[in-house]
Chain A
Amino acid sequence: MTTPSRRPCVVAAWFAVCLLLAGASILRAQPSHVGPMPSTLPVASAEERRVAYEARIAEVLEWYSSLSKPSDPLIGDLVGVSVRLALGRDLERCSRSVIELMKSPGSSPFWMFPAAGVAYLGRDRLSPEARAAIRRAWSSVMQLRGDTENHWAMYYASLYLMAQLYPNEPGSSWYTGKSSEENLAEARDYLIHWMRLTTTIGQGEFTCSHYIGEYAIPLTYLAAWAEDPAMRLRARMMLDWIFADQFANSLDGVLHGANARTDDTSVIERWNSLSSFFSWLLLGNTPPPAAYGGFGVYFATVARHYDLPEVIYRIGVDRGGDFMQRDLKRSRRRWRGSDVEMAPIYKLNYSRRDYAVGSYQGGISDPIQAHVWDVTWSVPDPRGVHNTMFSMHPVSSMEDLQMYFAEFPEQMMRSVTTEGKASYDSPDKFLGASRYEQVLQDQDTVIALYNIAPGTRFPHINGFLSKDLVDLTEDASGWIFARGGNAFLAYRPLAPYELQRALVYRSSWTGSKQDSGDRRLYSPHLRNGTIVQAASASEFPSFAAFQAAIRALPLRFSLEPVPTVSFTSLRGRKLEFTYGRTPVVNGRPIDTSAWKLFEGPYLNAERGSQKLTLTNGRLERILDFNTLTITDRIRNP
């Protein structure tokens, strides 16, 4: 048996191959990856933005094209073929390569979408023999649908497009055994179902550091190539939807805060993710990760079909002052061990110029790769910087895995750790969410409480204290003070702890680790908690003044019988939080029943509405899935 949903490791493997292919010249060939930091100032001219966008697309395509020599008889992978088809080069070699590659088709959405991309990019460029080879491959090998929403987005977008490309063909000519029309109808129904779900009760795999690619690429395919204008428009609107959400949760292009899914690297080096590729490509405000994040190359082959609306661009780069965004998301589908099929996720994002604080309420949104909260600070150049702070309970639980996977319990644990998630069963990991963690965020204050059941495999919490913190001080008051960029940070462990060297994962397959210079706050107590308060350096005359202000804040807490905190934040707000009870802010319990799908200065949508209003300054765009309309307007001053 296998545990199917393991995408980042596959991408990582592919990425490693790219690095090998490129050899020592790889970094030189990726000018934006190694070059100076791009400006974070907005570009006013739409024409200039588009020119720069297309230049970045060209950079990606040229880099990948350069990885194999023109003298090589064949192009070794579908992405290489896609790149050359997009560039209009080596078409005869593309055809020969496709014929060879289609002799051993893949068996999953990760083969389907590149193959569909080649089929469309090569519609009028590949030889009839090459096109026939692609068609045969969709008959001969059963494609696994996978078990996650990103798998299904890729699977059904690809099937939709291939069924559209080859209409009126019988079931015997498709691996599904269904006719072209049946395949098209099923794919369309699922895609619309997923869009409806996302636009009514929230996205499942929300603000992902990597999986955004698995949505952006198939949606761009559909926006570019779907013949049905309604599907084209739906895809286009969904692209706007997810990019607006992603960029509202990015600080200078770096995704921060809660993620339904991230990985061992990106959770501490927040910039180092595919999300940064999209920020670079669409906003131009941060460097792209190495190899353009792997999947970025696929996106680049069709990126010219998408034009980021100005309002979203400005949400990403031109936000003005501090803001709070409240969003509703949902957990991954729970098969068992839960009273609900999909748990609501109440997500918060408080962004300022110097730092941002993001969280959801705790609990398990995804069984392995979720990240619940952090404070992430802005840095002049995020490459290699671990600009984040958080604590978490490392979970390794068969029950949690069973909730989300339809597998036998014991073998599932074995599969997870040997098939690409080596850190899952490690006590020192920093990745994952716990049913024993509850979080209250109020602006730039976070209180995370832990009430870990006796007998739990890892009965401790890990706090992440970055190598990039400056002036880290363990104060006699019990607070830990530090500076991160222009942010002042105060971290209050509620139970005894020790600081240890942090070993971070180099490979999610082998589990190899290295000393990163970071520190792990290890606190082996079942009833536990963390308070983090952030502030801008500019708010205080000195770091010492900040520390004095923190020490003076009213704080009462106890850990028995359950953790409870009463804390007046730096913002003068009284936070009362007891594990297992509704948090109270300034005497008022937090009411999640009134939580909207999006609520903030930039993104607003009512729950269940299928209608998102994007705003920045006077710019407004309304995405309405009820009427399938996009409305752009300039609001009155």
Chain B
Amino acid sequence: MDNGVGAFVRAGQRQKAGRAGLRWLRSLAGVVGLGLASMAAGAAVPEPAAVPAAPAHELILSASINRSYVIGSKLVTLSGLYRRTGEGTFEHFGPNLLHVSAASFDPRDHRMIYLAMLNGALFSRDGGERFRIATGWDMTEPKDVAVDPNAPDTVYLALPDGFAVSTDRGWTWGRREKGLPDRGKYTQAIEVDRTRAGRLLIGCEAGLFLTENGGVRWRRVLPTRATVYDVRQSPANPAWWMAATQRDGVQVSRDSGATWTRIPDLAEDGAWYNIDFGTLQPNRIALSSWNQGLVVSEDGGRTWTPRREGLPTDGRIMRVGIDPDTDALYVSVRTEDVYRSDDFGRTWRETGLKGSTVSQFLFLRKPSP
């Protein structure tokens, strides 16, 4: 932990994982026979080590398995929250919930879970056994939810018509939209700066907006022509941020989100869905996209490579996540399986949740024993 507070890690918002995870990765690579030689051929793959360590993080997925479900049809599948219980196995927990866009956990107590889903924001106080729909009719279809790791009573909510905050652990919610445009405040993504309470960026239709005071006032730091779908802070360098957009390509900031530059090698048009940073190897970055598929960098974004071979389609990559303990790469191919790669996308294997569409890979730091 680089800031001394918070015990959870959201994909792309990681704390330093230390050497143990790295060693475990190397061990895993040997166990599953991936071939260390081929791994070593990669640009930044470290030397193998011998001692495995228990993973420090639990993988939680928000996933829908719907088989053409529409409102009104019979729900015959199990959707909502899953946790990885082993290699290739995922266990559903909590209610059967379609349309969960995102989950966030209170770093002090993982039984306190917040969800963004079709019905609004939900919270649970018992690890997901039961939820309360925390918002009313005037807030619907939130796309993201995030606990402030430095002020964990505060929870942020991205709404299709703006932004809301709860300062009492989800019981009550109020809109905080001063500085957001009347139109163009469709909000898809939230990333809380792990270095300072109340500092966060949100991805909206009209661009990226920054607040330094928990949403009391916003200012636009990047105008865009269409929705910003993701914004992430590097786990290695808190000043390094990236944003995925629909029509303005992939953007990068090296000054904590104050200024942004488009990455010229990546397509400008056609939505980029999400970004994740590596933790063990911070120069690793992965991007998901419907049209471009999976694109990765292993040199901190200087060069980019499509990694499609072994995946069932060239595109339709809904989500990508990088395991902070192992650097394993997970992708969700729409209504297919979750796929895992232990060599950063060079080879793939199915790892479960057949027929799913994952909206979030969330790596939750396990409590200290």
- Is A1 within 8 A of B359, CB to CB? yes
- Is A335 within 8 A of B316, CB to CB? no
Chain A positions within 8 Å of B184 at CB level: 336
Main secondary structure of the interface of A (DSSP, over half): loop
Given known contacts A147-B118, A411-B334, A142 and B97 CB-to-CB distance under 8 angstroms: yes
Chain A positions within 8 Å of B74 at CB level: 106
CA distance A340 to B182 in the complex (A): 9
- Is B271 within 8 A of A147, CB to CB? no
Chain A positions within 8 Å of B318 at CB level: 1, 408, 411
CB distance from B160 to the nearest CB of A (A): 4
Main secondary structure of the interface of B (DSSP, over half): loop
> What is the interface size of chain B, counting residues whose CB is below 8 A from a CB of the partner?
49
CB distance from A196 to the nearest CB of B (A): 13
Q: Please tell me if A127 contacts chain B, counting CB pairs below 8 Å.
A: no
Q: Which residue of B lies closest to A108 (CB)?
A: B71
- Is A339 within 8 A of B71, CB to CB? no
CA distance A335 to B229 in the complex (A): 15
Q: Please tell me if A470 contacts chain B, counting CB pairs below 8 Å.
A: no
Q: Please tell me if B32 contacts chain A, counting CB pairs below 8 Å.
A: no
Q: Please tell me if B305 contacts chain A, counting CB pairs below 8 Å.
A: no
CB distance from A636 to the nearest CB of B (A): 45
Q: Which residue of B lies closest to A420 (CB)?
A: B70
- Is A409 within 8 A of B118, CB to CB? no
- Is A335 within 8 A of B161, CB to CB? yes
- Is B186 within 8 A of A419, CB to CB? no
CA distance A171 to B171 in the complex (A): 13
- Is B273 within 8 A of A408, CB to CB? yes
CB distance from A481 to the nearest CB of B (A): 43
CB distance from B193 to the nearest CB of A (A): 25
Q: Please tell me if A507 contacts chain B, counting CB pairs below 8 Å.
A: no
CB distance from A155 to the nearest CB of B (A): 9
Chain B positions within 8 Å of A335 at CB level: 160-161, 186
Most buried by A among B72, B131, B160, B161: B72
- Is A6 within 8 A of B95, CB to CB? no
Contact bitstring A140-158, B, C-beta under 8 A = 1, else 0: 0110111100011000100
- Is B140 within 8 A of A172, CB to CB? no
Chain B positions within 8 Å of A336 at CB level: 160, 183-184, 186, 205, 227
CA distance A141 to B66 in the complex (A): 16
Which of the four size classes fits the interface of chain A? 35 or more
Q: Please tell me if A10 contacts chain B, counting CB pairs below 8 Å.
A: yes
Within the complex, which residue of A9, A142, A338, A340 is in contact with B119, where a contact is CB–CB below 8 Å? Answer: A142
Q: Which residue of B lies closest to A187 (CB)?
A: B137
CA distance A1 to B100 in the complex (A): 9
CB distance from B290 to the nearest CB of A (A): 4
Q: Please tell me if A176 contacts chain B, counting CB pairs below 8 Å.
A: yes
Chain B positions within 8 Å of A601 at CB level: none
Within the complex, which residue of A2, A142, A156, A189 is in contact with B70, where a contact is CB–CB below 8 Å? Answer: A2
- Is B71 within 8 A of A144, CB to CB? yes
Chain B positions within 8 Å of A414 at CB level: 334
CA distance A111 to B70 in the complex (A): 13
Within the complex, which residue of A13, A142, A144 is in contact with B131, where a contact is CB–CB below 8 Å? Answer: A142
- Is B316 within 8 A of A6, CB to CB? no
Q: Please tell me if B64 contacts chain A, counting CB pairs below 8 Å.
A: yes
Q: Please tell me if B73 contacts chain A, counting CB pairs below 8 Å.
A: yes
CB distance from A462 to the nearest CB of B (A): 26
Chain A positions within 8 Å of B132 at CB level: 171, 176-178
- Is B98 within 8 A of A144, CB to CB? yes
CA distance A340 to B161 in the complex (A): 12
Chain A positions within 8 Å of B143 at CB level: 406
Q: Please tell me if A109 contacts chain B, counting CB pairs below 8 Å.
A: yes
Q: Which residue of A lies closest to B291 (CB)?
A: A410
CB distance from A455 to the nearest CB of B (A): 12
- Is B68 within 8 A of A419, CB to CB? yes
CA distance A111 to B75 in the complex (A): 11
- Is B71 within 8 A of A6, CB to CB? yes
Given known contacts A2-B99, A338-B183, A410-B290, A193 and B137 CB-to-CB distance under 8 angstroms: yes
Chain B positions within 8 Å of A402 at CB level: 227
CB distance from B127 to the nearest CB of A (A): 14
- Is B98 within 8 A of A106, CB to CB? no
Question: For chain B residues 298-319, which have a beta carbon within 8 Å of chain A?
Answer: 315-316, 318
CA distance A335 to B72 in the complex (A): 23
Q: Which residue of B lies closest to A144 (CB)?
A: B118
Question: For chain B residues 14-36, which have a beta carbon within 8 Å of chain A?
Answer: none
Chain B positions within 8 Å of A411 at CB level: 290, 316, 318, 334, 357
**Number of CB contacts from chain A to chain B under 8 A:** 137
Chain A positions within 8 Å of B97 at CB level: 142
CA distance A418 to B290 in the complex (A): 17
Q: Please tell me if B268 contacts chain A, counting CB pairs below 8 Å.
A: no
Q: Please tell me if A166 contacts chain B, counting CB pairs below 8 Å.
A: no
Chain B positions within 8 Å of A420 at CB level: 68, 70
Chain B positions within 8 Å of A419 at CB level: 68-70
Chain A positions within 8 Å of B130 at CB level: 172, 177
CB distance from B258 to the nearest CB of A (A): 25
- Is A10 within 8 A of B73, CB to CB? yes
Question: For chain B residues 177-194, which have a beta carbon within 8 Å of chain A?
Answer: 183-184, 186
- Is B271 within 8 A of A144, CB to CB? no
CA distance A408 to B359 in the complex (A): 11
Q: Please tell me if B136 contacts chain A, counting CB pairs below 8 Å.
A: yes
- Is B133 within 8 A of A6, CB to CB? no
Question: For chain B residues 275-291, which have a beta carbon within 8 Å of chain A?
Answer: 290-291
Q: Please tell me if B96 contacts chain A, counting CB pairs below 8 Å.
A: yes
Chain B positions within 8 Å of A147 at CB level: 71, 118, 140-141
Q: Which residue of A lies closest to B185 (CB)?
A: A336
Within the complex, which residue of A7, A108, A151, A409 is in contact with B271, where a contact is CB–CB below 8 Å? Answer: A409
Q: Please tell me if B246 contacts chain A, counting CB pairs below 8 Å.
A: yes
- Is A145 within 8 A of B271, CB to CB? no
Chain B positions within 8 Å of A156 at CB level: 137
- Is B137 within 8 A of A110, CB to CB? no
Q: Please tell me if A5 contacts chain B, counting CB pairs below 8 Å.
A: yes
Chain A positions within 8 Å of B133 at CB level: 176-178
Chain A positions within 8 Å of B98 at CB level: 2, 107, 144
Given known contacts A107-B75, A336-B205, A1 and B357 CB-to-CB distance under 8 angstroms: yes
Question: For chain A residues 113-155, which have a beta carbon within 8 Å of chain B?
Answer: 141-142, 144-147, 151-152
Within the complex, which residue of B72, B99, B119, B183 is in contact with A6, where a contact is CB–CB below 8 Å? Answer: B72
Q: Which residue of A lies closest to B271 (CB)?
A: A409
Q: Please tell me if A186 contacts chain B, counting CB pairs below 8 Å.
A: yes
CA distance A190 to B68 in the complex (A): 29
- Is A406 within 8 A of B136, CB to CB? no
CB distance from B223 to the nearest CB of A (A): 15
CA distance A259 to B76 in the complex (A): 33
Most buried by B among A147, A151, A152, A190: A147
Q: Please tell me if A610 contacts chain B, counting CB pairs below 8 Å.
A: no
Chain A positions within 8 Å of B357 at CB level: 1, 411
Question: For chain B residues 126-173, which have a beta carbon within 8 Å of chain A?
Answer: 130-133, 136-137, 140-141, 143, 160-161
Contact bitstring A321-365, B, C-beta under 8 A = 1, else 0: 000000000000001111111000000000000000000000000
CA distance A13 to B73 in the complex (A): 9
CA distance A177 to B129 in the complex (A): 11
- Is B119 within 8 A of A144, CB to CB? yes
CA distance A144 to B270 in the complex (A): 30
CA distance A341 to B140 in the complex (A): 15
CA distance A490 to B96 in the complex (A): 56
Within the complex, which residue of B72, B96, B131, B334 is in contact with A7, where a contact is CB–CB below 8 Å? Answer: B72
A-B contacts besides A408-B229, A408-B318, 4 pairs, CB < 8 Å: A2-B98, A147-B71, A338-B183, A410-B271
Q: Could you list which residues of chain A lie within 8 angstroms of chain B, going by C-beta atoms? A: 1-7, 9-11, 13, 106-111, 141-142, 144-147, 151-152, 156, 171-172, 175-178, 186, 189-190, 193, 335-341, 402, 406, 408-411, 414, 418-420
Q: List 11 A-B contacts (CB under 8 A).
A: A1-B318, A6-B71, A107-B98, A111-B72, A147-B141, A338-B183, A410-B270, A410-B316, A411-B290, A411-B357, A419-B68
A-B CB proximity, top 10 nearest: A177-B132, A110-B72, A10-B72, A410-B290, A6-B70, A190-B137, A336-B186, A4-B71, A406-B160, A335-B160
